[in-house]
Amino acid sequence: MTQTPTVRPELADVPTGAFIAGQWRALPRTFTVDTPHDGSALAQVADCGPQEAVDAIEAALVAFDTWKLDNFKRAEILSRWADLIDEHAPQMARVMALEMGKPVTEAHGEIGGGNGYIRFYVDAARQIAGERVPSRFAHKRGLTRSEPLGVVYAVTPWNFPMSMIARKAAPALAAGCTVILKPAEQSPLTALLLAELWRQAGGPAGTLQVLAASDPASFSKPFFDDIRVRKIAFTGSTDVGRLLYAQAATTLKRVSLELGGHAPTIVFADADIELAVRESIVSKFRNAGQTCISSNRFYVHESIAEQFADAFALAASKLKVGDPLDPATEIGPLVDDQGHAKVSAHVADAVERGAAFQTGGQTLTGRYFAPTVLSGVQPGTLMLREETFGPVAPIVSFSSDEEAVRLANDSEYGLAAYVFTRDLSRAFRVTEALEYGIIGVNDGGPVGAAAQAPFGGFKNSGVGREGGHWGLDEYLQVKYVSFGV
Ligand code: NAD
């Protein structure tokens, strides 16, 4: 049975239709978005299917013909979009807190960081240029043009409902592509609000379209079948990424995949322990551990393992768990019952295999889980292999640098890693040996507000990069033109 949600003030003007060809379209089919705080219904959102997908593709193709022509116009509209997002940040942060449980203070940070990407690509849009290519013949001149790929289908996860969109839509739109975005089922409201702000910023019809769907596989099929959709930009789990990679092969679409992670943190004997604890609280507990670059396993030198575990557990136990709408909250609920069940199962498995609680371990009410630190975690424990996606930190001790690097690299993933040491030579040696796309040395937030930096992973953590010029290149193709003169 469909629940009828009571409209909350921050949601009153958030659209719930499908944003197709510059218009809000109501659909007879809807699905419920709830809040992880207490499971109550927030909104009924238009549930798009293959027909809406086809309509969006047609509108995106029409829009592309004009949108690709004027870099400066694109920069102007993106800039207005960024201004409107800043203006609506307090509302957007509350929408995000409501729909996926991120503490509202953190949500503000995400919006600021995401908007940093939009502003970065405002500048980049104005600078898209070509190169002069030398010729061995005196009568020839070679030039390149960087041209947009065309229609992009972007699929985003729930854990960063704003910034995952900004990192794709901003470079794609700056490059001159048109974008059809499908947000995650758990967090479509932030995306729909972004679409409305794009409309208000003067974004032409069909340039950015946002369609939510409760059945992502059937909704997505037309995009993969249509050769005129030239790019898939995906952030989400490795399993789904692999599936989309295979589907994109038939029409040889360009693909960017930002997938799962399993970040190791290595704390060497010479580390500044206070700093390692402070930074690791950020890398582990931000978004209640539901972050692809979240530290999932801690390797600590045996000589300081106890000292680190005590200090880290004390800091974790002080984190304020509670209602995500409360500005003082540091840990909100887990996004859904499935996520909560996975975290509980990982903790039960670790304890069964001999790990001891330093702090936490309790399931609180509903989808809340207490910040948890475990020591003496044994090899073979699930959380040392799989993404936990929760506020749980397992500590394992090591005795040599080689062992630490071997343990850290022993993963199918290669997204982020963290290293704490005061020895510069060791920092160089270890960062060169780690098979990870992003490394923080004495830094638990290496990509915080870093739109200019490349974000992406090695191995099963993905294909391609977001951010910086790397992120723009993902949406451009090079044309070479030779002139006989
Ligand atoms: P998910 O893979 O379940 O879903 C991601 C998106 O894919 C959602 O929009 C979903 O509707 C869609 N989807 C699912 N099945 C699909 C299908 N068959 N066809 C088309 N679309 C489909 O992931 P999630 O649970 O939303 O997000 C968590 C995962 O995302 C974690 O693994 C996390 O590490 C990863 N993540 C990675 C990054 C990164 O930058 N590398 C960033 C954030 C999250």
Q: Is residue 121 part of a domain?
A: yes
In ligand 1, the atom with minimum distance to the C-alpha of 455 is: 40
Q: Is 144 a domain residue? A: yes
Residue minimizing CA distance to atom 35 of ligand 1? 236
Q: How many domains does the chain have?
A: 2
Ligand 1 atom at shortest distance from the alpha carbon of 184: 9
pLDDT value at residue 5: 67
244 plus 274 within the same structural domain: no
Whether ligand 1 lies within 6 angstroms of the CB of 232 is answered as no
Compute mean pLDDT per 10 residues along the chain, 485 residues long, and list them.
Answer: 71 97 98 97 98 98 98 98 98 98 98 98 95 97 97 98 98 98 98 98 98 98 98 98 98 98 98 98 98 97 98 98 98 96 97 97 90 97 97 98 98 98 98 98 92 98 98 98 97
Q: DSSP E strands: which ranges in 56-199?
A: 132-133, 140-148, 151-155, 178-182
Q: What was the pLDDT predicted at 363?
A: 76
Whose Cα sits closest to atom 11 in ligand 1?
184
Q: Active-site residue among 10, 258, 330, 466?
A: 258
72 inside domain: yes
Q: Which atom of ligand 1 is nearest to the CA of 466?
A: 40
Instruction: Indicate whether 275 and 362 sit together in one domain.
Output: yes
Catalytic pick among 10, 52, 110, 292: 292
The CATH number that applies at residue 277 is 3.40.309.10
Q: Closest residue (by CA) to atom 10 of ligand 1?
A: 184
Task: List, in order, residues 6 or more apart from 442 with CB less than 8 Å away.
Answer: 271, 272, 275, 276, 279, 419, 420, 421
The answer to whether residues 306 and 240 belong to one domain is: no
Query: Which residue's CA lies nearest to atom 23 of ligand 1?
Result: 236
Q: Looking at residue 149, which CATH number applies to its domain? A: 3.40.605.10
Report CA(336)–ligand 1 centroid distance (Å). Answer: 14
Active-site annotation holds for 177: no
Looking at the structure, tell me whether residues 106 and 190 fall in a common domain: yes
Nearest to 383 by CA among 482, 446, 289, 451: 289
Does a structural domain hold residue 221? Answer: yes
pTM of the model: 0.97
Minimum-distance ligand 1 atom for the alpha carbon of 185? 11
Residues 246 and 325 in one domain: no
Determine whether the shortest distance from the Cβ of 294 to ligand 1 is under 6 A: no
pLDDT of residue 258: 98
Q: If you take atom 21 of ligand 1, which residue's CA is the nearest one?
A: 216
Q: Ligand 1 centroid vs 184 CA: distance in angstroms?
A: 8
C-alpha of residue 239 to centroid of ligand 1, in Å: 9
Q: Distance between CA atoms of 361 and 351, rounded to whole angstroms? A: 10
Rounded-to-integer distance, Cα 483 and Cα 39, Å: 64
Ligand 1 center from residue 257 Cα (angstroms): 10
Same domain? 92 vs 229: yes
What SS3 state is found at 119?
Answer: helix
- Nearest Cα to 49, choosing from 24, 25, 29, 20? 29
The CB of 471 under 6 Å from ligand 1? The reply is: no
The answer to whether residue 2 sits within a structural domain is: no
- The answer to whether residue 358 is domain-embedded is yes
- Domain membership flag for residue 267: yes
Which CA distances in Å does 285 have to 10, 92, 350, 356? 26, 22, 19, 19
Domain interval for residue 89 = 9-259+462-484
Which two three-digit tokens encode residue 60? 């995106």
- Residue pair 307/403 in contact (Cβ under 8 Å)? The answer is no
Instruction: Say whether both 122 and 171 belong to one domain.
Output: yes
Same domain, 75 and 179: yes
Distance (Å, whole) CA 32 – CA 456 = 32
231 and 349 in a common domain: no
Ligand 1 mean position, distance from CA 306 (Å) = 36
* 210: helix, strand or coil: strand
Radius of gyration of the chain (CA): 23
Q: Are residues 197 and 283 in the same domain?
A: no
For residue 305, being part of any structural domain is answered with yes
Q: Are residues 213 and 353 in the same domain?
A: no
Same domain, 105 and 232: yes
Atom of ligand 1 nearest to the CA of 157: 26
Active site residue 258: yes
CA distances 353 to 347, 350, 378, 398, 399, Å, are 10, 5, 6, 18, 21
207 alpha carbon – ligand 1 mean position (Å): 23
